[in-house]
Chains A and B, each alone.
Chain A
Amino acid sequence: MASLDDLKKRIVSVKSTQKITKAMKMVAAAKLKRAQDSAEKGRPYSEKMNNIILNLSEGISDKENAPKLLSGTGKEQTYLCVVLTSDRGLCGGFNANIIKKAKSYFARLSREGKELKIITVGSKGNDQLKRTYGDKIIENISFKNSKNANYFDAEKVGKLIIEKFEKEEFDICTIFYNQFKNVITQIPQSQQIIPLNTKENKEMSAEDNYEFEPDEDEILTNLLPKNISTQIFKAMLENSASEQGARMSAMDNATRNAGEMVDKLTIEYNRSRQAAITKELIEIISGAESL
């Protein structure tokens, strides 16, 4: 059995860990509020963008010569996967969930004999993927220096993807991120951004007759690259809200577990203190009796 001194030391150490997790929980809660706000504020932009593109793609006259970002390259051989993760750890299953989702997708691709390329955004994803898919990772981007998700970072990623697409380095692009549902639940998502999936949200498109200036094709060519950045930005916002939510609940659990541990250790400490006292008393009494 551990000595009294050891127990005391352990209790103190668990207590100080608990203080840290508690503080981290508070910080995450404060950040979550902000991240959630900006995720909500960012929604109108991406929704409007989506609507306009849907309307445009409905009205496009010449389907065969439609921009490649919309119609695809006609092949389905090389897949580019953009995995968005956080730069910091200690956020429960947040990163692991995205990676799991991505890995099962990768496995399916390799079964089907497709070629795979990976871009990781955020260092944690890179850390976890480089062991198995190290040779597939073509780019690793990290925004450790930016405090919040901002549009310019998203634009950088978007431009990089489009550049690669124009060089015909891949045919299909999918992004992986966590969608924020609530503090406890984050849903890992995969979303195909190139070619754009317009069939999914068919019921949303209205039958409007728009006038276009300049013509549809030109607007689409200009709009689609922007849409890529917008989608990535949306994913980044969702991700940062999810990250804080996941961290908050992880730290909440950690604080509770630490509390339980302190209770257990305190009982053990008191028991062994009592045992030592009893032992001493027995020694004194039996010593007195023998006289």
Chain B
Amino acid sequence: MSEEFKIEIVNPEKSFLLKEDVTEVIVPAFEGEMGILRDHISIISFLKPGIITINSKSGEEKFYVEDGIVEFKNNNLSILTSTIFNLKEIKKDKIQDLIKDAEETLNKPSINDQSKFLIDQKIEVLRTLN
């Protein structure tokens, strides 16, 4: 039996990525990293800032996401996200900018605990990329 399933990544502007031959996807779910294989149970979860790793026949691809929702159903994986970059295409100074922005928001007094946690996460992930 084949071990492949379909993945679609959508952002508000367009359909970002569509692949039919993925074997494994690792997503940074809110409560920890989650690996998804074929015939996973239907699941809905959301993402924290992190790296999505997609394994397919054509090799491994990595993407940086800031937030999003994951839905897996009938061997269709949909990821909705507002911010996503392919790690190959993202530039070093862009990462620097993102870190700077995040640090600025972190210093705002009005921030609540949850968003603080998310931004901490974001900075951590971005630093490891650098």
Complex Cα gap A198–B118 (Å): 30
B121 within 8 A of A: no
Residue in contact with A222 in the complex, picked from B46, B71, B80, CB distance below 8 Å: B46
In this complex, how many residues of chain B approach chain A with their Cβ under 8 Å: the count is 24
Please state if A210 and B43 are interface contacts (CB–CB under 8 Å). yes
B15 within 8 A of A: yes
Please state if A233 and B73 are interface contacts (CB–CB under 8 Å). no
The interface residues of chain B lying within 8 Å CB-to-CB of A154 are 12
Interface residue tally on A, bucketed by range: 20 to 34
Please state if A49 and B41 are interface contacts (CB–CB under 8 Å). no
Please state if B42 and A209 are interface contacts (CB–CB under 8 Å). yes
The interface residues of chain A lying within 8 Å CB-to-CB of B8 are 44
Please state if A213 and B43 are interface contacts (CB–CB under 8 Å). yes
Please state if B15 and A44 are interface contacts (CB–CB under 8 Å). yes
- Closest A residue to B15 by CB, please name it: A44
Please state if B12 and A233 are interface contacts (CB–CB under 8 Å). yes
Please state if A151 and B12 are interface contacts (CB–CB under 8 Å). yes
Please state if B42 and A150 are interface contacts (CB–CB under 8 Å). no
Which residue among A45, A155, A209, A219 has the maximum number of chain B CB atoms within 10 Å of its CB?
A45
Complex Cα gap A236–B8 (Å): 24
- Closest A residue to B83 by CB, please name it: A151
B31 within 8 A of A: yes
The interface residues of chain B lying within 8 Å CB-to-CB of A56 are 44
The interface residues of chain B lying within 8 Å CB-to-CB of A18 are none
Would A211 and B69 be within 8 Å (CB), given that A48-B78, A223-B46 are in contact? no
- Closest A residue to B71 by CB, please name it: A52
The interface residues of chain B lying within 8 Å CB-to-CB of A38 are 13-14
The interface residues of chain B lying within 8 Å CB-to-CB of A233 are 12
B82 within 8 A of A: yes
Please state if B15 and A208 are interface contacts (CB–CB under 8 Å). no
The interface residues of chain A lying within 8 Å CB-to-CB of B34 are 213
- List CB contacts (< 8 Å) of B83-113 with chain A: none
Residue in contact with A223 in the complex, picked from B12, B41, B69, B78, CB distance below 8 Å: B69
The interface residues of chain A lying within 8 Å CB-to-CB of B15 are 41, 44
Would A45 and B71 be within 8 Å (CB), given that A56-B44, A212-B43, A213-B43 are in contact? no
- Closest A residue to B45 by CB, please name it: A213
The interface residues of chain B lying within 8 Å CB-to-CB of A211 are 41-44
Would A45 and B10 be within 8 Å (CB), given that A213-B43, A219-B45 are in contact? yes
A214 within 8 A of B: yes
Please state if A42 and B12 are interface contacts (CB–CB under 8 Å). yes
Closest 9 A-B residue pairs measured CB to CB?
Answer: A41-B14, A151-B12, A213-B45, A211-B43, A45-B10, A210-B42, A45-B12, A44-B10, A210-B44
Can you add 19 more A-B contacts, CB < 8 Å, to A45-B12, A213-B30? A42-B14, A44-B10, A45-B80, A48-B10, A48-B80, A52-B69, A52-B80, A56-B44, A151-B12, A208-B73, A209-B42, A213-B34, A213-B45, A214-B30, A214-B31, A219-B45, A219-B69, A223-B46, A223-B69
Q: What are 16 of the A-B contact pairs (CB < 8 Å)?
A: A41-B14, A41-B15, A44-B8, A45-B11, A45-B12, A49-B80, A52-B69, A52-B71, A55-B44, A210-B43, A213-B31, A213-B45, A214-B30, A219-B44, A222-B46, A233-B12
